[in-house]
Amino acid sequence: MVQDFIQQTDDRTRQLTRDLLRQIHHAVLSVIDEAHGYPYLARIACQADEDGIPLAFLSEIAVHTRLLESQPKAALLIEAPPGRGEAMAQARLSLQVVARRLPDHGPAHAARLASWLAHNPKSRAYAELPGFHFWRLEPHAGLLNAGFGQAYRIGPGDIRTPPADHVRGR
Amino acid sequence: MVQDFIQQTDDRTRQLTRDLLRQIHHAVLSVIDEAHGYPYLARIACQADEDGIPLAFLSEIAVHTRLLESQPKAALLIEAPPGRGEAMAQARLSLQVVARRLPDHGPAHAARLASWLAHNPKSRAYAELPGFHFWRLEPHAGLLNAGFGQAYRIGPGDIRTPPADHVRGR
């Protein structure tokens, strides 16, 4: 990323980043459509995993999932839920990520699914359909926009938290 | 784009597409960060131009604008304003576009700026800052998601409208 005019990341912006991630139910995913040379965009179901890293829950027949399977370098836009203010003035986090599909069995999968459903009970509608899988979206680089003209560079170390700090119901 | 499971576009979905575009103040833009091999995401100020084509108003110092200058093949996600429902259940339009910066002078620019401000009076806060320019985002291909499992392929002809149909204040 071009990195001019970007301010120094501090504890406040690191906390804002983690808070943003902790409350999301969905995010915007961008994948590269290599056959046509364009990016491709979709809104996806997304939450923070146990250690704060973004976790997606994707249908294997979706266009974006198929593109992700051939090119795992992707991007994610995470925004605060709509409030009273203008979306352009609200905090948002733009991440470049590497996507990795997780196994669909074992105690780690069961714990992840239970945590996902606890954080968003309405997700049961799709979570139990066949062909949905968890994907970890490991951050490579990021930019936090905390309002007009306030940009901060965010790295993987600003996002990952020890599981003990994790506040979601388990 | 992969095109399985996609339904036939009809007048209703074409109208939904145009209605979505007519009411937006902003959208999510994805550009390709060729130096690192990732897409890059940002929320941008966006409205429909006189003929229905998406029009962005971008700062020349923003990361996404610099990336767009070197690679004009981009993508745009256009969503209905947040309502009572879940964002995942609301209609959204995913477009692959080619971006082109417009000249900053002449009667066409003045008309575009007047129309932009009439549609979103709050945009005056940034519209009169130096270094902001209009960009046309010409659709190449698109997918309308009209709710869970309802996907329709959208082409440029489904978006472009004669200026006479244009309902924005001018």
What confidence tens digit (pLDDT) does each residue in B59-94 have?
999 999 999 999 999 999 999 877 666 777 789 999
| Among the partner residues A2, A31, A88, nearest to B63 by beta-carbon distance | A2
pLDDT of B139 higher than 80: yes
- Comparing CB atoms, the residue among B63, B94, B126 nearest residue A40 is B94
Residues of B in contact with A28 (CB under 8 A): 28, 41, 77
Which of A39, A63, A87 lies closest to B39 in CB terms? A39
Here the tokens at position A129 are: 């359909």
CB pair distance less than 8 Å for A75 and B143: no
Q: Provide the token pair at B24.
A: 């937006």
Which residue has 């900053």 as its token pair? B104
- What residue in B sits closest to A126 (Cα-Cα)? B148
Judged by average pLDDT, the poorest of A44-53, A62-71, B2-11, B121-130 is B2-11
Q: Residues A117-133: pLDDT tens digits?
A: 999 998 998 888 889 99
User: How far apart are the C-alpha atoms of B97 and B30, rounded to whole Å?
Assistant: 10
**Separation in Å, CA of A12 to nearest CA in chain B:** 22
- Within 8 A of B28 by CB-CB distance, chain A residues are 28, 41, 77
Measured CA distances, B137 to A67, B47, B76, B95 (Å): 23, 10, 8, 9
The pLDDT of residue B114 is above 70: yes
Chain B residues whose CB is inside 8 A of the A66 CB are 2
Please return the burial class of A121, using the count of CB atoms within 10 Å of its CB with bins 0-12, 13-18 and 19+: exposed
Is B101 in contact with B60 (CB distance < 8 Å)? no
ipTM reported for the complex, 2 dp: 0.90
Q: Which residues of A touch B143 (CB under 8 A)?
A: 63
- Min Cα separation A164/chain B (Å): 30
In the prediction, which pLDDT does A161 show?
86
pTM for the model stands at 0.91
Helix-then-strand count for chain B, H and E? 5, 7
Chain segment A75-114, per-residue pLDDT in tens: 999 998 776 667 777 899 999 999 999 999 999 999 999 9
Q: Are A142 and A6 spatial neighbours (Cβ–Cβ below 8 Å)?
A: no
